[in-house]
Structure formats: structure tokens, C-alpha cells
Structure 1
Amino acid sequence: MTADETETTEFDPSDYDMTITRTFDAPRERVFEAWTDPDRVEQWWGPAGFTSTVHELEVRPGGAFRLDMHAPDGTVYPDSGEFHEVEPPERLVLTSRAFEDEDGAYGLEVYNTVTFAERGGRTELTLEAEVIAARPEVAEALEGMELGWSQSLEKLDDTVAA
């Protein structure tokens, strides 16, 4: 194969941008609270089989969050970020950062917009995740991001249905 026949693919973080919409059989105030109360967040944040520990959750513009996701194999995945917009019970906008290296640089940064729409006593949640920065070495994690969020939202469904 000559050089002209090889295809080079560049890593483009925006290829992993996604939008997920899910309807919950719960009032939007309850669904919004599940995103903003540390005890509730610990009940659902993370893919199937994961648990989470919330260390900080300051739900206000400029407020920080910091949590650890614990994988079934014992691996801990720290996640942190900040809130940009908080409009109860309609909207949250936050940046999340993960895969911090020894120099304090993050391998992944995602800008998330979460809207909560009232639908006759039910809640339509829309999560828009825009990958604003990512290193190529986190591509595997990015490939699982949509599945991970889908599984987290399944756990959220169980949390708000109770």
C-alpha cells in the first residue's frame, strides 16, 4: 500500500458529542432534585455496576462539584467540574472534567446542558454533552460515554420512581 492509499484519521473530540432524551414518570421537581442533592446523586451517578461518592456539590453558578465513580473492579474515576447555569427546576449547565494527569491537566472536558421539561406530571429530560477537549488516549472512554449516560439515566429512573 502506498502512502497515497493509506487513510489517516485524526482524533476529533466533537465526534463524540451526543444528545439523549428520556422521559421519567416523576415530576420535574423530583428529577431536578435528584441532580442537585448529593445523597440522591450518589444513588444514580455512574454506569451500571458503578457506585459514586459525592465530595462536593455546590449547585449555583460558579459552584463546584467533585465526585468519585467506583467501578466494579475497584478502580476509582474522579470527576469534577463547575456549574455555569442553575435554573430550578428547568435547566442545569455544567462542565465536567475527568482523567486528570500528574500535572493536573485533564484528559477530558465536557460541556453539559440538562433540561427538564414538564410533560403532564412526567419529566422529559434532555442531556446535551459537547466534548470541548479530549486527549486521544481517552477515546475508549468517549466511545462508552453514551452507553454510560444511558445506564446512569436508567438508575436515575429507578431513583425518582421511588
Structure 2
Amino acid sequence: MPVTDVRHDSDTLTLTITAEFAAPVARIWQVYADPRQLEKIWGPPTFPATVVDHDLKPGTRTTYFMTGPDGEKYAGYWDITAVDEP
């Protein structure tokens, strides 16, 4: 996934990442919609992700944690505000 742009907005607490994928849009949608598939691509191999809650609908929150090489867990979340399914 070659990242082409990263934008931080401290006022709205958002991070926008733009990337190009060598796959059809429908396939990328499947990966992001399915938590087990998402775990395979979210984060580097040395920090695997475990998705705890994931429902790709506006008003929901995706929660996950990443486990570092030392076993330390780092929690994260996304607040889903809009979804434009292809």
C-alpha cells in the first residue's frame, strides 16, 4: 500500500491517509469491512493488529489493539462518521 499523502488536523483530531492499491475497489472494501481481513493489513508485521469491535456504519467505533514485539499492547480506535460503500 504505497501511501501518497498524510494529513493531520489537531483541531478535529483527525488523520487522513491517502494510498494507492494494486487491487479493485471492491476488493479493498472487503478488506476494510471484514475485521479478520483488516487485521492482516493494519500495522507492520512486527506490530500485529487485533480488531475487537468493528461495524462499518456511521456512528460506530472500531476498537483494536496492536501487540509489539515485546508483548506490550497498544490500543486504538476509529470513530466512523461516514461510509461510502462502492
Query: What TM bracket, shorter-length normalisation?
Result: 0.7 to 0.9
Which structure: greater helix fraction? 1
Give TM-score, length-normalised by structure 2: 0.73
For residues 1-162 of structure 1, what are the structure 2 equivalents within 5 Å? Answer: 13=10, 20-89=17-86
The TM-score, its normalising length taken from structure 1, stands at: 0.41
More strand by share: 1
What is the CA deviation profile of residues 82-130 of structure 1, one whole-angstrom value per residue up to 9, with x for unaligned ones? 21001112xxxxxxxxxxxxxxxxxxxxxxxxxxxxxxxxxxxxxxxxx
Which letter maps to 1:78? A
Gaps of 5+ in 2: 1-9
Structure 1 pair 52–22 and aligned structure 2 pair: CA distance change class (3 A): same
Call closer, same or farther: CA 1:36–1:21 in 2, change over 3 Å.
Answer: same
Deviation at 1:78, TM superposition (A): 0.6
Instruction: Give me the CA root mean square deviation.
Output: 2.0
Post-superposition offset of 1:23: 2.2
Distance 2:54 2:75 in 1: 14
Radius of gyration: which is bigger?
1
Write the letter of the residue equivalent to 2:32: W
Tell me how far apart the structure 2 counterparts of residues 80 and 34 of structure 1 sit (CA, whole Å): 17
Query: How far 1:48 sits from its partner (Å)?
Result: 3.8
Listed as ranges, the gaps of 5+ residues in structure 1 are 1-12, 90-162
The whole-number CA distance in structure 1 between the counterparts of 2:58 and 2:77 is: 15
d(CA) in 1 for partners of 2:63 and 2:83? 17
Distance 1:47 1:85, change over 3 A: same
Alpha-carbon distance, 1:47 to partner: 2.7
Alpha-carbon distance in structure 2 between the residues aligned to 1:81 and 1:50: 18
Structure ranking higher on relative contact order (CA contacts 8 Å, 6+ apart): 1
SS in 1 for 2:27: helix
3-state secondary structure, aligned to 1:68: strand
Identity of aligned residues (%): 33
